[in-house]
A = this chain, B = another copy of it.
Amino acid sequence: MTEKQIKILGSALELFAEEGFHGTSTNKIAKAAGVSEGLIFRHFKNKEGLLNAIMAQGQSLATTYFSPLMEMTDPKEVLSAIISMPFQIDESEHKFWRLLYALKWQQQKYNSISFDFMLEKAQQAFKDLEYSDPKAEVIILEMLLDGAATVILLKDEQFSKVKTLKALKAKYNLD
């Protein structure tokens, strides 16, 4: 990938995340990236192709997130790792997750990154810990993750992440 391609993807991610896919013109992206508008189409074919390229990039980011889970066996460690996730989104990834969540609400088409594997791992953990209704627990966990992501991505820094995570872990008796 050339330097300009990277610039385009970066600007597009930022703008899509902030103003939405339909709310962002290719003209705006090109200007933000310091690039001619035509170049966007030469490299990504479409405005949608641009979005796809961003999502493809994100897919590998997500994989990095999830892979450590695979090897864990201790159920408490598993739950602790899962719950911590949204609290560990850092500056550089912030924009990507914001876009991903925003897209969720618009087209199922872009629900491409799947959390199913993670949720299955969680269900096993709840079973191991002998929760009475593991299925319901998984739903609640999913809600907590989506909710944490929502609050963190939309009103970051207006509350103490450390304290919140601690209280949350306490609810599941995770040290």
Contact = CB atoms under 8 A, between A and B. Distances in A.
A139 B154 contact: no
Nearest to A86: B143
Given A106-B23, A106-B102, A164 B147 contact: no
Interface string A130-141: 000101110110
Contacts of A22: 20-23
A76 interface: no
Nearest to A154: B104
Main secondary structure of the interface of A (DSSP, over half): helix
B150 A163 contact: no
Interface of A: 18-23, 98, 101-102, 104-107, 133, 135-137, 139-140, 142-148, 150-151, 154, 159-160, 163-164, 166-168, 171
Nearest to A133: B167
